[in-house]
Amino acid sequence: MMTLDERLHAMAALLPEGEQARFTAPLAEGESIDSRLVEAARALAKTEGLMCLTPGEFSRALVQQAARLAMPATKPPAADGKPEDDIATRFAAITDPRAQTAFWRSLTAEQRAAILETK
């Protein structure tokens, strides 16, 4: 049976070279081999393209998803040939930050640039 130290070194060997030093260094004061092993497993999962969130990251992602689902869908501004100043005025008239974000995301790159140029 492998010890925790052996498991940590085996996991660290699978990580990219830049990440290995962080897990093979001596333990800091108050740091346990268990916590370092968990962090190595999380780092290995991320290098493999898996999503591995800490409890705090998970909570933030959950709140962001709930906010996206609660926000009513908005239609992108019509490209009907109206001047870009009209879009900047419409954007400035929105006071709710979530609605501003939704409106901003619905714009094309050119429309965003036009709004930024008017400021």
Is 20:13 a contact under the CB 8 Å cutoff? yes
Q: What is the pLDDT of residue 84?
A: 53
Q: What is the pTM of this model?
A: 0.42
Say which residue, 93 or 76, is predicted with more confidence: 93
**Rounded to 5 degrees, what are φ and ψ at 70?**
-75, -25
Q: How far apart are CA 1 and CA 116, in angstroms?
A: 61
- 89 pLDDT more than 70: yes
First vs last Cα of the chain: how many Å apart? Answer: 65
